[in-house]
Amino acid sequence: MPTIAILPVKSFRLGKGRLAAHLDDADRSELGRALAERTASLTVEAGLLPLLIAGDMEVAEWALLHGFPSAPDMGTGLDGAADIGSAWADESGSHWLVIHSDLPLLTVSDLTELEESLLRHGVVLAPSADGGTSAIGGRGVHYRFRYGPGSFRRHLASYPGSGIVTRLGLLHDVDTVADLVSARNHPRGAWLAGVM
């Protein structure tokens, strides 16, 4: 079985709340959908099997339309979504990677390096620029996820032998308008001009 790429995807209508002062509901929904679609497509190109943890029925229907398997998010945050995905992967005995779906500069080579480090070390972590965890990978269900501000240090403390992958595509997520502007101004983010 291929490595499972667990992609938590919030409701398109309700996601990216911190951008609400600058983008209306329709624009935020379109951005969330485009980011999720691009990330899921890149995981397929990298030879991973995407599993979307769907924040609502709209996301689940969108995943079905695109041929991506999904499981319902039970409303327990990123920790709960990661638990659901790792349990799903464990049923097939597969390795898994929990990857944020809002990484506009992500590339196939970023994902390939993540998987290679996972297979080499057994656990892999990728920090985001703000100290969060943009990706974590392992195998089985004996992991304690500790998302939230500063989560990278908590995950690293829990799994000190982890492989660490630090790459631009994994460092840069979209939480603020500054993040979005920065991504659009980077050559890898040129695709965003067609979305917004």
pLDDT digits (tens, 9 = 90+) for 141-192: 999 999 999 999 999 999 999 999 999 999 999 888 889 889 999 999 999 9
pLDDT in tens, 36-78: 999 999 999 999 999 999 999 999 999 999 999 999 999 899 9
Instruction: Please provide the DSSP assignment of the chain as one string.
Output: -PPEEEEEE--TTT--GGGTTTS-HHHHHHHHHHHHHHHHHHHHHTT-EEEEEESSHHHHHHHHHTT--EEE--SSHHHHHHHHHHHHHHHHT-EEEEE-S--TT--HHHHHHHHHHHHHHS-EEEE-TTS-EEEEEEESS------STTHHHHHHHH-TT-EE---HHHH---SSHHHHHHHHHSGGGGGGGGT-
> How confident is the model over 91-135, as pLDDT tens digits?
999 999 999 999 999 999 999 999 999 999 999 999 999 999 999
Question: Hey, what CATH topology would domain 4-191 get?
Answer: Spore Coat Polysaccharide Biosynthesis Protein SpsA; Chain A (3.90.550)
Residue 17: the pLDDT is 59
Please give the backbone phi and psi of residue 104, each rounded to the nearest 5 degrees, phi first. -70, -15
Predicted TM-score of the model (pTM):
0.93
